[in-house]
Structures are given as C-alpha cells and as structure tokens.
C-alpha cells in the first residue's frame, strides 16, 4: 500500500480508501450479512487500506463496528457523516450531535477521525458554517471528533460552488470532492486552493457509476456529441475510451479511471466501493499502479476537461 498525509490533519492515510456506501454498500445490497461485509472490511485492512468512509444512511456503520472488534482502533482512520438538510427540514446542532453520538455507538468507538457534514450545497453553506460548525468544534474539544470536514453534492453542484465558498473558512480540514475523467472541474476549482491551504481531499465518483458500465459511456458520448459538447467521433464509436487501453497504458477502463483520479495533483485518498473480495483486490491493485501515460492524461483533458456533471448518480440511480 502507498500512504500520504491527509492535508494538515497529520493523519497518515492509505491512498486507497474503502467507501462503504455507493450502490453495493459492502455487499449488503446484494444479500451479504453484516458479518460477511465486516470480513470484507478486515480483508481491505489486511491489504493495507486504513481509511474507511461510512455514514448512517448507508446502513454500514454496524458493519464497520463489527470489523473494529478485531482491528486495533488506532490502525484505521474512520470517517462518517451527518446530514444537514433533508425533506425540507434543516437539521439542528442538537440533531447533528445526536447523529455523531449514534455513530460512535454503532461503531463501538470513542472518537471519529473525520466527521463530515454531508452533501452541502452552496445555498446551505451559511447555515452549515454559522449554525452547525460551532457545535462540531465543541465536540472536537471534547475529543469525540479529531477533524471536521465537508462533502459537496456533485450530483447537483457541477461547479464545486459549495467548496469554493468553504475555502475561506479554516474550520474545514477535509473535503470530499467529486472528480473523474469526464468531470474534471476540481482541477481548477478546488485542488490549487486545497494544496495551498493544506486541506485534505477524499475523492468520490472516480469510477461510480458511469465507468462501471461501458455501454453507458458510449450512450453518454452519443448524447453529448449530438449536442456538440464532445468531438463527433466520440459519439460514433462503441468504445470511446478505448484509446486508454494499450501496452504501457491501462488494462481496462475502470483501471484507467482509478489511475486518473489517484495521480491528480491535490488528490489524497480515492474512495472505492465493493461487495466482493476479488473486486476489492482488483480496485486496490488499480489504485497502486503508476500514473497513466502523459499523452493519455493530456488527451483526457483536451477531450473532456470542459464537461460538467457527466455520470454523477445518486445511490438510487441517475438524476442528471
């Protein structure tokens, strides 16, 4: 495994981070028991993965808690989240603290390494900063949180507006950012500032969900070409990203997607999901491979660097 320091937090983290949400939710969505899913967490740790991301809505905090019964707590970095607004209702500071306490109980731990306020949009930011963040600072002073973070909602915020606002406020130590081969805006909007300020970055959507479905890539390219948003030839081929697969390049599109995100300057941890031990090992192997050839990276930037919001789906399916 390869490790890096998560911004100014000082946390030494694996570049491959285990995401326990997404579409598989550690296999729970396909019928795995919590014990079976917890075994996957332990297998990830055995491969050197020490960053684990979860959240109450994922239904996987209990899985992480089961895994922690046989893993030294100091051997892993645990991140979880709280909602800030749902179904037209603002979450109060008391409700966010209650969510934190519930997470601590569910995972059987005394502290959360990174506690994120989740899916924050630009119009919600003032409330999050002025009303919720102070409550988290108090919990940090009590030792229940080590570091405070913010996750954007790239499904609706295609231009990183929430994170751009947050860059001015030092309370946030970690960002979760949507970034992939066809949604590259964070390269200009976020990473220069996070590198300068020492804000740690967690990358979501590196593969999920467009690159996990090769026929979908071709369909998306056909739609985008018809709108004049990408070159015409990309809409006329059944394998628009085939140029990435060649001797010296990637073995397949998913590997290319992970390598693209992993080696972007400003990226600390790339999150991946899994529900299967073989898939787990394959994802980790992809993230540990060297950067894509420079010619391929330049071509990806030239072809897709202007795109916004392509292939960003919620857990329940497409919303674009």
Distances (CA, A) of 298 to 183, 260, 293: 14, 11, 9
Parallel/antiparallel/unpaired status of strands 269-272 and 16-19: parallel
Using CA atoms, how far apart are residues 239 and 242, in angstroms rounded to an integer? Answer: 5
- Contact in structure between 137 and 105 (CB atoms under 8 Å): no
- Contact in structure between 199 and 173 (CB atoms under 8 Å): yes
Using CA atoms, how far apart are residues 143 and 113, in angstroms rounded to an integer? Answer: 10
The residues, ordered by sequence, that sit 6+ positions from 169 with a Cβ below 8 Å of its Cβ are: 129, 133
Q: Catalytic annotation on 127?
A: no
- Contact in structure between 175 and 166 (CB atoms under 8 Å): yes
Q: Which of 262, 258, 245, 249 lies closest to 294, judged by CA?
A: 249
Question: 């905090």: which residue's tokens?
Answer: 61
Q: Is 60 exposed, middle or buried (0-12, 13-18, 19+ CB in 10 A)?
A: buried
What does the radius of gyration of the chain's CA atoms come to, in whole angstroms?
19
- Contact in structure between 174 and 6 (CB atoms under 8 Å): yes
Strand partners, 265: none
Active-site choice (58, 125, 175, 258): 58
What element of type H or E holds 85? strand 85-86
- Contact in structure between 280 and 47 (CB atoms under 8 Å): yes
Strand partners, 86: 89
Q: Is 239 exposed, middle or buried (0-12, 13-18, 19+ CB in 10 A)?
A: middle
Q: Which residues are catalytic?
A: 58
């Amino acid at each position: 495994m390869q490790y890096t320091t998560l911004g100014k937090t000082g946390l030494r983290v694996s570049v491959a981070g285990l995401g326990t949400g997404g579409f598989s939710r550690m296999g729970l969505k396909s019928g795995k028991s919590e014990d079976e899913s917890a075994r996957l967490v332990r297998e990830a740790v055995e491969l050197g993965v020490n960053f684990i991301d979860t959240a109450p809505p994922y239904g996987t905090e209990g899985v992480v808690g089961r895994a922690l019964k046989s893993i030294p707590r100091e051997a892993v970095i645990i991140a979880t989240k709280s909602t800030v607004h749902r179904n037209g209702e603002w979450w109060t500071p008391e409700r966010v603290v209650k969510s934190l306490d519930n997470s601590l109980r569910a995972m059987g731990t005394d502290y959360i390494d990174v506690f994120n306020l989740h899916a924050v949009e630009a119009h919600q930011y003032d409330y999050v900063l002025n009303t919720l963040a102070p409550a988290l600072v108090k919990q940090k002073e009590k030792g229940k949180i080590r570091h405070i973070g913010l996750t954007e909602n790239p499904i609706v915020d295609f231009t990183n507006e929430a994170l751009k606002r947050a860059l001015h406020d030092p309370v946030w130590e970690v960002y979760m950012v949507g970034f992939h081969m066809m949604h590259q805006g964070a390269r200009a909007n976020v990473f220069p500032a996070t590198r300068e300020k020492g804000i740690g970055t967690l990358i979501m959507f590196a593969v999920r969900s467009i690159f996990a479905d090769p026929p979908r890539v071709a369909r998306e390219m056909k739609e985008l070409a018809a709108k004049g948003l990408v070159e015409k030839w990309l809409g006329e081929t059944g394998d628009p990203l085939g140029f990435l697969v060649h001797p010296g390049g990637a073995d397949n599109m998913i590997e290319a997607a992970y390598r693209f995100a992993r080696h972007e300057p400003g990226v600390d941890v790339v999150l991946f999901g899994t529900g299967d031990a073989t898939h787990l090992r394959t994802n980790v192997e992809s993230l540990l491979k060297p950067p894509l050839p420079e010619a391929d990276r330049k071509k990806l930037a030239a072809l897709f660097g202007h795109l916004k919001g392509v292939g960003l789906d919620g857990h329940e399916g497409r919303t674009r």
